[in-house]
Amino acid sequence: MQKLFSEFSSTSAIDWKNQIIKDLKGEAFENLMWKNENDIDINPFYTAEDLKQTYEPAFNHSNWDICVHKTNLSSKALNEQLLADLNRGATSISVNCKNIDFEVALNNVQLNYIQSTFFINETTAASLKNYLEKHYSLDEINCSLFPEDFENNNDFKTWQKIILLFKDYKNIKTVCFNNLKFHNQNCLAYYEIAIILSALNEYLQTDTQPKNEFVIKTGVNSDYFIQIAKLRAIRRLWAVLKSEYNLENELHIIIETSLTNKSISDKHNNLLRTTIESMVAVAGGCNELIVNEYDIFYSAKEKMSSRMAINQQLILKEESYLNKLADVSCGSYYIETITDALATKALHTFKKFENEGGFFKCLEKNIFLNEIKQQAEKRQELFNTSKELAVGVNKFKNDKEHISFSVDEIAELKKLPIANAILNFELDNFFK
């Protein structure tokens, strides 16, 4: 083996560049360079010379929990769906606790054997605590609690009371931030990271800091390498915050596949999109993953869609063995470079947020939503002019497909709190 290496001389970056220039036969090398939507320079190739340091893995775990998220169901229907999904292979549940009876909704759901997430307010927090104390030894419950509302300082003060309510339970995580609503507004990757950092920093400036994991929930879209780099950059910057505040808390990341790029047309193509996003989430180091059904925008869902959402993850584990390796991107010339670039730009943006007064001040001034709206509008324009494509929508459209939506169903889709250029294009062009 040693002889094999000695027979081939190493090739420097300048050697690669000279060969490319030669192969271009007069075309400018600079034409191969471009800026992505995050305003990051992308080179046509990367070598070890692009790496600024020796990189350690951004995370060390390889496995993840298959999570299902349920909302807007009666307690009985919720219970039936949770039990069905757990029997199909799910290992984690996520529940919005508004208007549910815990005794009915969680009947026979053995929380001591699975991960769980609950979205609660001050009232439902007390009810959940009573339910858990009645049925379990709380040290054996491993769950995350998210605030139902997190819009201003009053919400934050209320949430700090809830943190104190559960402070004695070592496996109940209460320092949690849901970034999904910003992601689903079609937020750029670096901006997402900065918002997450800003929200976590609000927690770190209080006295109510439990010793267990901090939790964030966000989404990933199909921009494969950028989204992997986004999740790795979040962990890298969390390490910086931990160091600044002298903490040992780890970061628990829950990922949900994006609603920003799913279509009504050729809905089974959404299976491919969510599979790509699932691979992104795993390669980026998620701890839990929620895959949305391929017919997420249909009011009448097919029976197999929720099963497929679980089976996609089971195949990635049981047949593709993606749960056997941790941080497969570590040391990749390209991914490490864009991870650094995203982290640098996000940190700069985070400092701007802090200069404005922090997370809640930025919310109050509409800084986040105004900027994200501009980002989403640019993406919409790219799609409308076919500079960005979606198979089955503005490219390779199936003209024989007939989709029937009522006026009320279309109105409901238009009211969704998301920015989806594909869906907007469909509603404007196919359902007039």
User: How far is the C-alpha of 432 from the C-alpha of 427, rounded, in Å?
Assistant: 7
Closest CA to 353 of 341, 364, 340, 338: 364
User: How far is the C-alpha of 429 from the C-alpha of 432, rounded, in Å?
Assistant: 6
User: How far is the C-alpha of 424 from the C-alpha of 376, rounded, in Å?
Assistant: 11
- Please give the class, per CATH, of domain 65-334: alpha beta
Instruction: List residues bridging with 146 in a β-sheet.
Output: 119
Evaluate whether 267 touches 299 at the Cβ level (below 8 Å): no
Q: How confident is the model at residue 138 (pLDDT cuts 50, 70, 90)?
A: confident
Using DSSP, state whether 281 is helix, strand or coil. helix
pLDDT confidence of residue 4: 66
pLDDT confidence of residue 7: 72
CB neighbours (10 Å) of residue 267? Answer: 20
Q: What is the mean pLDDT of the chain?
A: 95
Q: How confident is the model at residue 9 (pLDDT cuts 50, 70, 90)?
A: confident
Looking at 56-65, 308-317, 423-432, which range is the least confident one? 423-432
79-111 tens-digit pLDDT: 999 999 999 999 999 999 999 999 999 999 999
Q: Where are the domains of the chain?
A: 12-45, 65-334
Give the phi and the psi of residue 298 in degrees, each rounded to 5.
-95, 135
The residue whose two tokens read 């104390």 is: 133
Residue 1 confidence (pLDDT) above 60? no
The pTM for the full model equals 0.96
pLDDT confidence of residue 228: 98
- Strands of 172-173's sheet, edge to edge? 172-173, 142-147, 115-120, 92-96, 65-70, 288-290, 251-257, 214-220, 176-178
pLDDT confidence of residue 210: 83
Backbone torsion region of residue 10, taken as left when φ is above 0, otherwise alpha when ψ lies between -120 and 50, otherwise beta: beta
Instruction: List residues bridging with 254 in a β-sheet.
Output: 217, 288
In the predicted model, what is the mean pLDDT of residues 381-401?
94
Tokens for 101, please give them: 């009876």
| Long-range pairs for 367-374: beta carbons < 8 A, 24 or more residues apart | 368/182, 368/195, 369/185, 371/191, 372/182, 372/185, 372/186, 372/187, 372/191, 372/419, 373/185, 373/419
Report the share of the chain in percent with pLDDT over 70.
Answer: 98
Closest CA to 234 of 271, 285, 175: 285
pLDDT confidence of residue 168: 87
In the predicted model, what is the mean pLDDT of residues 367-380?
97
User: How far is the C-alpha of 226 from the C-alpha of 275, rounded, in Å?
Assistant: 16
In the predicted model, what is the mean pLDDT of residues 399-406?
90
Evaluate whether 252 touches 285 at the Cβ level (below 8 Å): no
User: How far is the C-alpha of 175 from the C-alpha of 159, rounded, in Å?
Assistant: 9
pLDDT confidence of residue 2: 64
Q: What is the DSSP string of 96-146?
A: E-TT--HHHHTTT--GGGSEEEEEE-HHHHHHHHHHHHHHS-GGG-EEEEE
Evaluate whether 395 touches 389 at the Cβ level (below 8 Å): yes
pLDDT confidence of residue 139: 85
Residue 3 confidence (pLDDT) above 70? no
In the predicted model, what is the mean pLDDT of residues 147-171?
94
Residue 411 confidence (pLDDT) above 70? yes
Please report how the helices 269-283 and 224-245 are oriented relative to each other, as an axis angle in degrees rounded to 10: 30
Helices (H), ranges, 166-302: 180-183, 189-204, 224-245, 269-283
- Rounded to the nearest 10°, the torsion over CA 309, 379, 369, 262 is -20
Give the phi and the psi of residue 268 in degrees, each rounded to 5.
-70, -15
Residue 207 confidence (pLDDT) above 90? no
Closest CA to 198 of 354, 375, 371, 348: 354
DSSP annotation of 359 reads: H
